[in-house]
Amino acid sequence: MADRVYIFDTTLRDGEQSPGCSMTVPEKLLMAHKLVELGVDILEAGFPIASEGDFEAVDAISREYPWVQVAALARAATVDIEIAARSLEKAKRPRIHTFIATSDIHLKYKLKKSQQQVLDEAVAAVELARSYTDDVEFSAEDATRTDYDYLEEISRAVVAAGARTVNLPDTTGYSVPEEYAALIGRMARALGDAAIVSVHCHDDLGLAVANSIAAVQAGARQIECTINGIGERAGNAALEEIVMTFNTRRDKLPFETKIVTQHLYSASQMLSQTITFGPQPNKAIVGENAFAHEAGIHQDGYLKEKSTYEIMDPKAVGVPESKLVLGKHSGRHALHDRCQHLGFQLDRDELDEVYLRFTAMADRKKGVRNEEIVALVHQVLGERTVVAAAND
Ligand code: KIV
Ligand code: ZN
């Protein structure tokens, strides 16, 4: 049986706190509706101490979706935790997610605290959070650049204090998969059944998804991720990429999520319309070109058998159909197919002539639109009618 992996969505928190991504409370509510439909397990709705809007968003989402596990972020500080707890008052399944940095770099330059002080504050924060809810998550910020013995010590201590989930973020996107898997494996063995080990990867080196997956193979059972991979700097691990990797490579990755994948594309589109940018066209799973084929060899193979060039059914992620983009790399087979779709049954000579004009046009442009193909076909058929009439 496949092992269950929990999807912790932080689009409305880590995602929202990045440039160009801020959302109003009504926008967060709309996105939350989509995330609930998508089937995320935990929905991190904001960082209530950070702004009134974040407080209101956590409160509003908790009221609107009482059955959903809603998380609120809080530093390991009394006031943060009290405010997070207040924002979650209406949630039936509230999670307080408290964090403090643990790496030497952060301790020395940012916090100016000793390891013992940070450990004591982490334990106190978890104990306080537990006085409000049973569901407490602790994050060791910059875990991947933290001394591993200390990380294990603090992880054991917060679990003893009542944390049910221990998140070990690659806050700066510095780790590589083999290294991250070794760290997560060690911590998963140390904590055993006492807590779920969670991962939260940033994409500074483009490795957030690979690191998250390697971590699950090593024992993590919660992944923190965002729609379209939005988040601080280069972003977080993209939810859609993680889920579709599990679904597509079950042979290698026997892990299961509860994500309803048919909503992935619409969730991506809704987010793009809410924030100031969408995914790049060649973005995996949800980019405009993710199921588009232009090269003649690819189009020919695809038209003979889709699996030659497609490893996923676009409908599985909510994309209505694959696209054959007609451009200078396209072949006769694809043009013939398009002409048939547009209602033209061309004979061999007609197709040759249309193809000749099509390649001349495609050479000058980035792509040829359906209307332009129709015009070319009319041109060729029209000229042929005139010649035929003249010959009669
Ligand atoms: O990147 C990070 O370390 C975070 C924590 C607050 C979980 O976002
Ligand atoms: Zn983060």
Q: Which ligand is nearest to the CA of 144?
A: 1
171 CB within 6 A, ligand 1: yes
Give residue 340 CA to ligand 2 midpoint distance, Å.
50
Average pLDDT over residues 347-359: 97
CB 271 within 8 A of CB 35: no
| pLDDT tens, position by position, 73-110 | 999 999 999 999 999 999 999 999 999 999 999 999 99
Residue with tokens 């939350």: 32
Please report, in angstroms and rounded to a whole number, the separation of the first and last CA atoms in the chain: 74
Pocket test for ligand 1, best of 138, 141, 225 (most atoms within 8 A of CB): 141
Q: Note every long-range contact of 186-190, with CB atoms under 8 Å and residues 24 or more positions apart, other chains counting.
A: 186/148, 186/152, 187/151, 187/152, 187/155, 187/219, 188/218, 188/219, 188/220, 189/219, 190/152, 190/155, 190/156
What is the number of the ligand 1 atom nearest to the C-alpha of 236?
1
Please give the mean pLDDT across all residues of the chain.
97
pTM, rounded to two decimals: 0.94
169 CB within 6 A, ligand 1: yes
135 CB within 6 A, ligand 1: no
Give residue 198 CA to ligand 1 midpoint distance, Å.
11
Q: Residue 388 above 80 pLDDT?
A: no
Distance of CA 289 to the CA centre of its chain: 17
Give the integer Cα–Cα distance in Å for 361 and 339. Answer: 16
Q: Residue 2 above 90 pLDDT?
A: no
Q: Residue 386 above 90 pLDDT?
A: no
Q: Residue 389 above 80 pLDDT?
A: no
Place 391 in a pLDDT band, splitting at 50, 70 and 90.
confident
99 CB within 6 A, ligand 1: yes
Q: Residue 236 above 90 pLDDT?
A: yes
Give residue 141 CA to ligand 1 midpoint distance, Å.
6
| pLDDT tens, position by position, 190-211 | 999 999 999 999 999 999 999 9
144 CB within 6 A, ligand 1: no
298 CB within 6 A, ligand 1: no
| pLDDT tens, position by position, 269-325 | 999 999 999 999 999 999 999 999 999 999 999 999 999 999 999 999 999 889 999
Give residue 1 CA to ligand 2 midpoint distance, Å.
31
Give residue 260 CA to ligand 1 midpoint distance, Å.
26
- Measured by CA distance, the residue closest to atom 1 of ligand 1 is 171
Place 1 in a pLDDT band, splitting at 50, 70 and 90.
confident
Average pLDDT over residues 216-234: 98
